[in-house]
Amino acid sequence: QVQLVESGGGLVQPGGSLRLSCAASGITFNRYNMAWFRQAPGKEREFVAAITRNGGARTHRDFVKDRFTISRVDAKNTVYLQMTSLKPDDTAVYYCAADHDVWRTWVTESINEYIYWGQGTQVTVSS
């Protein structure tokens, strides 16, 4: 049974930092490109960042560049999202996901390409 379990969310003041973790089980983690998405209340789920299975390629949406960094440690079956300089607009439920195509050598932002999803972790940025 595949499980992706996010953790690390919480309430933080504007300008603060959080590190989200996503622990995977039930899959050969090092075969999968991984991504983070987020969904704010009343909005569609949107792509945040992704990383290839060997960590060689990463992409981040413009609205988080220079503030968020995706990384992975395959020995721990875990992907991370380091978030700094947080803004109220970053408030959302954050989800990790695994790309269905284990042969893809690039990262994709398309939500339809991700087959496994975690349950999400809430991030609230507020003073």
Mean predicted lDDT score pLDDT of the chain:
95
Cβ neighbors of 18 (< 8 A, separation 6 or more) are 8, 9, 10, 12, 83, 86, 123
User: Any idea what DSSP says for residue 29?
Assistant: G
pLDDT over 90, % of the chain:
87
pLDDT for residue 72: 97
Phi and psi at 117, nearest 5°, equal -135, 145
pLDDT for residue 57: 85
Q: Dihedral, CA atoms, 35, 123, 85, 127, nearest 10 degrees?
A: 170
> What is the arithmetic mean of pLDDT over 31-39?
97
Nearest-angstrom CA–CA distance, 54 and 84: 24
pLDDT in tens, 39-91: 999 999 999 999 999 888 888 888 888 999 999 999 999 999 999 999 999 99
